[in-house]
């Protein structure tokens, strides 16, 4: 049972435009959500997170939106840059367990 789903395996956008990556979850007990970025042959690196008490968190070009009623979160990258090309994973956890449940990942390609 996939508790965290990223239904788009890949996304291609033009440099300077907005990238929107989506993530859905099924477990209503999740209260903390994270996005990780992964380059080839490297481990995932933390990008941005959001607590369930918020609906938006912004960090520079990256903004995460959380819609709890829809059990949906999204990552917006504006403007997109070629260096943003990577695999993006969303992850969720419940309580302060440190146990992250990851989605399958979305490969983002930003074209110059």
Q: Kindly tell me the burial class for residue 79, based on how many C-beta atoms sit within 10 Å of its own C-beta (0-12, 13-18, 19 or more).
A: middle
Q: Identify which range of 11-19, 59-67, 74-82, 85-93 contacts other proteins by CB under 8 A.
A: 85-93
Pick from 12, 45, 67, 81: which binds other proteins (CB under 8 A)? 45
Q: Judged by CB, which is closer to other proteins: 4, or 77? A: 4
CA distance 47 to 82: 16
Pick from 8, 22, 49, 109: which binds other proteins (CB under 8 A)? 49
In the region spanning residues 52 to 81, those forming contacts with other proteins, defined by CB under 8 A, are none
Are 19 and 2 a contacting pair, CB within 8 Å?
no
Largest CA distance in the chain: 41
DSSP 83: G
Q: Number of residues in contact with other proteins, rule: CB under 8 A?
A: 24
Residue 42 interacts with other proteins (CB under 8 A): yes or no = yes
């Amino acid at each position: 049972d996939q508790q965290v789903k990223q239904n788009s395996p890949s996304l291609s956008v033009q440099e300077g435009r907005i990238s929107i990556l989506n993530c859905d979850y099924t477990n209503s007990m999740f209260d903390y959500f994270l996005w990780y970025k992964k380059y080839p042959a490297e481990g995932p690196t933390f990008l941005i997170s959001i607590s369930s008490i918020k609906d938006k968190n912004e960090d520079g070009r990256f903004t995460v939106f959380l819609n709890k009623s829809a059990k949906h979160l999204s990552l917006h990258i504006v403007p997109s840059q070629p260096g943003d090309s990577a695999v993006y994973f969303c992850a969720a956890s419940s309580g302060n367990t440190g146990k992250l449940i990851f989605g399958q990942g979305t490969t983002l390609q930003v074209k110059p």
